[in-house]
A and B are shown apart, each in its own frame.
Chain A
């Protein structure tokens, strides 16, 4: 079974530029998550989708971050314009069930963003 795919793996941009990340979840997984992991910290949820609807975006800085999952499969996360403090690894995760007790989140390898 293929895992969660993310691209690009690395991205270097200057502040005030725009950047987009792409995620392809595990086939059939209804729920998709974007996490931000700053160096030396644990991942922090930015946004959670169930199919193509947003479940939780309470920690997404909506003035500069946006995300979409138009067909309920792939997702893109965009930052516009980027700030220095956005330097982090952006992790995508997916899980199978829409509810239930055993619902493992599988993580992709992440995109490492450096803002100069």
Chain B
């Protein structure tokens, strides 16, 4: 089946530091999404990207849709303790209500 390669798998950072993570695929996706999952909860959408080359921000979060449509990255600036959690990239080949294909996730730990 389709797979998204997400890296790094985990990061330990100090509060205030920036962190970046990326996601690559062997297939083209027309929509890229970034989710955050807290323990015992379902994933929550952070940012959605719909156009190749698009750069979108949501507060301290910035994400980009790669030009090749096969990759995306997420950057979190000035991290705070509540940024702790697991971050997933997800792609849709057609968009709309189509199923999401998820990466394996990146576990972020922020030391106060």
Q: Which residues of A contact B (CB under 8 A)?
A: 4, 30-31, 33, 40-45, 48, 50, 55-56, 59, 91, 93, 95, 97-110
Interface of A: prevailing SS: loop
Residues from chain B with a CB closer than 8 A to the CB of A45 are: 99-100
- Which of chain B's residues has its CB closest to A59's CB? B1
CB pair B42 A4 closer than 8 Å: yes
Supposing A108-B42, A109-B42 touch, asked if A103 and B96 sit within 8 A by C-beta, the answer is yes
Supposing A42-B90, A42-B105 touch, asked if A107 and B43 sit within 8 A by C-beta, the answer is yes
Q: Which residues of B contact A (CB under 8 A)?
A: 1, 4, 6, 31, 40-45, 48, 50, 88, 90, 95-97, 99-100, 102-105
CB pair A107 B96 closer than 8 Å: no
Instruction: Kindly list 14 other residue pairs between chains A and B, CB separation below 8 angstroms, not including A42-B4, A42-B88, A91-B42.
Output: A30-B97, A33-B99, A41-B104, A42-B90, A42-B105, A43-B102, A55-B97, A91-B43, A97-B97, A99-B97, A103-B96, A107-B42, A109-B41, A109-B42
Interface of B: prevailing SS: loop
Name the one of B1, B50, B88, B97 contacting A95, with C-beta atoms under 8 angstroms: B97
Instruction: State the Cβ distance, B25 to closest chain A Cβ, in Å.
Output: 13
CB pair B102 A101 closer than 8 Å: no
Instruction: State the Cβ distance, A31 to closest chain B Cβ, in Å.
Output: 5
- For A43, A55, A95, A104, the residue with the greatest tally of chain B CB atoms inside 10 Å of its CB is A43
Supposing A59-B1, A93-B42 touch, asked if A31 and B103 sit within 8 A by C-beta, the answer is no
CB pair B42 A103 closer than 8 Å: no
Residues from chain B with a CB closer than 8 A to the CB of A109 are: 40-42
5 residue pairs from A and B, CB less than 8 Å apart: A42-B103, A55-B97, A101-B95, A102-B48, A106-B45
CB pair A43 B1 closer than 8 Å: no
- Which of chain A's residues has its CB closest to B103's CB? A42
Complex CA gap A104/B44 in Å reads: 10
Residues from chain A with a CB closer than 8 A to the CB of B99 are: 33, 45, 48, 56
Complex CA gap A92/B104 in Å reads: 18
CB pair A110 B42 closer than 8 Å: yes
